[in-house]
Structure formats: C-alpha cells, structure tokens
Amino acid sequence: MQLRKLDFLGSTVEEAIEKGLSIFNRTRDHVDVEVIDTGSKGIFGIGAKPAKVRMSLKPGDRLFDDPEEAEFALEPEPVPAKPAKKEAEPAPKKERAAEAPQPEARTVPVGSVSAPVEDEDGDDEEVRTYPERIVNENSVAITIGVVKDLLDHMRVKATVEGRIGVQEIGSNQPCILIDIKGDDLSYLIGRQSETLNAFQYITGLIVGRENGHWVPIQIDIQGYRARRERQLRQMAVRMADQVAKSGRKISLEPMPGPERRIIHMILRDRTDVFTESMGEEPNRKVVILPKPAA
C-alpha cells in the first residue's frame, strides 16, 4: 500500500528532509522529495519562514515489510452488507485477538460501528460498518508512547495525554483521544490542520502495526480541535439562520472534509435549511440552502 505525500517543516530544507526521513524510517534514496519552500531567515529573526518539503515513498516501496501488515495502514474498507468470501475468515482474526493478553482496564468493543464519513464525492453522511476492533487502556498507552517517540524524533518538547472518548459529533464510535500540550505548537497544526492531520495519519499507521489491528485515533493540540468545532458550530447556526431568514443560499469558505462533515452534522436536523458540498478539493465547500416550502 503506497503512503500518500506528507509535508514537513524545518529551519532549513535539509532539516525538513531529515524530519521526514525519521518519520518514514527510510534513507534518502527510498523517498521522493519536492521542495515546496526554501524558507528564509528574515531580518534579525523577524519575518523568518520555515523551509517546507513534500515527501513520499518511491513506487514499489512500502511502509510495512510484510504485505499482510498493510491491512492496518489505513481505515479498513467498508464491510459489504452481504459479504461473500470474508464470512469464512473471521476465525483467524479472533484467534489473533485472543493471543494478545488484554489488560483488565476498561475495554470498549468497537464492533460494527456506524459513523458518518466522507465518500469519494465529499461529505455525504453515508454509513460505514467496520470490522470488530478493540479500544482499551493498553491501546491508549501504546498510542501515547508512539506520539512521544514521534515528537522526540521531531525535537518537539511537549506533554502527551490520552483517554478513550468519542471521535466526532453525531458518532457513537469509541476512539483514542490524544492531546498534545506545549509552548507555541501552532506549527504542528498547519494550514487548515494539514500538518496535524498528517501527524495523526502517521501515528495511526504505527499504532495499527503495534496493536496488530486498526484503532481509531484523534490527535488534538492544546484543545485546537475542540475550539475549532465550537467555532464551526457557531458559524453554522448563524449562517443557517441567515439562509432561513433571507431565503437565499450561502456558500461557506473551503475547508477540509472533517470540518465540512461537522457542518453537515450540526445542521442535519434543521427543518428550514439543508446542506450540500460543492466543488473539488482543495476548494470543496459547504453550501447552506433553504428548504422548499412543503
């Protein structure tokens, strides 16, 4: 399974490349590197910009040595309503789970979880059914350790806290919630959360390999996601009220899929407006429209 391109920052291009190599755990000849911004030192340190590179594994290379391990690399594919071949294969996975000793700590079976997800066309609230996964305190400890190791590789000083919670509004899916705290960590969030989402993606790959199965993870930095969700909620309600009052649609600013999904979830029970996603990435946006009179 090919790993998508990820961006890395550093005071110099070489430092950004070294950070990327440490995350991918590869040497320079195993990756493709595109220099996005060489950065600048500014004047007396004022106006300095970090260097930025985009990195991906070369074709044919894998993050995992064993092809079977690639099944943990990404969120699992939806399980069909009437599975054909996979019905005969649940036994090995259950045996594997039984082999790993589970701690006596609180254990939450994810089971067949339904959660709103973004489909290929955008943010329709389709339902995916996931194979049985286990979220427990042992998984939390593993995730905290992985995040700390990644931050150490990036030479970032921060504290890491973790717990079991719910991934997003409108979802009953248990997941591991990680909060990173430290001084001036905004550069780990990035524009439209790009850096934070990439960090979360890498963490998920490693934790999946450590656990032997996929585990849902959401990483936050000093409560950024919670603050952003409150902002989106307030904006969605305000814009929806305007649409209902004026009878004219309003297009919101382009935003990443998870944020568009929040808007859809907040307004889905409104009787006077409805939402649609329009456009192509990275300029895809939510449009709020008045519901026609019955």
Last residue of a domain, one of 206, 222, 238: 222
Last residue of a domain, one of 192, 222, 252: 222
Q: Is residue 233 part of a domain?
A: yes
For residues 184 and 107, state if they share a domain: yes
- The larger pLDDT score, comparing residue 159 to residue 49, is at 159
Average pLDDT over residues 170-188: 84
- Closest CA relative to residue 164, chosen from 134, 192, 209, 191: 134
- Residue 62 has a pLDDT of 57
- The larger pLDDT score, comparing residue 241 to residue 198, is at 241
- Closest CA relative to residue 97, chosen from 111, 84, 85, 83: 111
Q: Is residue 70 part of a domain?
A: no
pLDDT band (50, 70, 90) for residue 148: very high
- Residue 47 has a pLDDT of 55
For residues 107 and 30, state if they share a domain: no
For residues 94 and 131, the answer to whether their CB atoms sit within 8 Å is no
| pLDDT over threshold 50, residue 126 | no
Q: Model pTM?
A: 0.54
For residues 209 and 127, state if they share a domain: yes
Q: Is residue 34 part of a domain?
A: yes
- Residue 4 has a pLDDT of 61
Both tokens assigned to 206? 């490693």
Please provide the average confidence, as pLDDT, over all residues in the chain: 75
Q: Is residue 29 part of a domain?
A: yes
pLDDT band (50, 70, 90) for residue 6: confident
- Residue 246 has a pLDDT of 94
Average pLDDT over residues 103-128: 40
pLDDT band (50, 70, 90) for residue 142: very high
Q: What is the CATH number of the domain that holds 165?
A: 3.30.300.20
For residues 268 and 168, state if they share a domain: no
- Residue 101 has a pLDDT of 44
Give the least confident one: 63-67, 165-169, 263-267. Answer: 63-67
State whether residue 49 is helix, strand or coil: strand
The tens digit of pLDDT for each residue in 26-81 reads 888 888 899 988 887 654 444 567 888 888 888 766 554 444 334 333 333 344 44
Radius of gyration of the chain (CA): 21
Both tokens assigned to 111? 């089971």
- Residue 60 has a pLDDT of 66
For residues 212 and 235, state if they share a domain: no
Q: Is residue 77 part of a domain?
A: no
What is the three-state SS of 278-293? ECCCCCCEEEEEECCC
Q: Is residue 81 part of a domain?
A: no
- The larger pLDDT score, comparing residue 97 to residue 251, is at 251
For residues 278 and 203, state if they share a domain: no
Q: Is residue 84 part of a domain?
A: no
Average pLDDT over residues 82-90: 47
For residues 217 and 241, state if they share a domain: no
- Residue 147 has a pLDDT of 95
- Residue 177 has a pLDDT of 93
For residues 207 and 230, state if they share a domain: no
How many folded domains does the chain comprise? 3
Average pLDDT over residues 1-24: 78
For residues 141 and 204, state if they share a domain: yes
> If you write DSSP's letter for every residue of 197-247 in order, what string do you get?
HHHHHHHHHHHHHHHTS---EEEEETTHHHHHHHHHHHHHHHHHHHHHHH-
Q: Is residue 72 part of a domain?
A: no
Q: Kind of pairing, strands 285-290 and 250-251? A: antiparallel
Q: What is the CATH number of the domain that holds 285?
A: 3.30.1370.50
For residues 44 and 107, state if they share a domain: no
For residues 245 and 183, state if they share a domain: no
CA–centroid distance for 257 within its chain: 10
For residues 138 and 39, state if they share a domain: no
- Where in the sequence is the domain holding 11, given as residue range(s)? 6-57
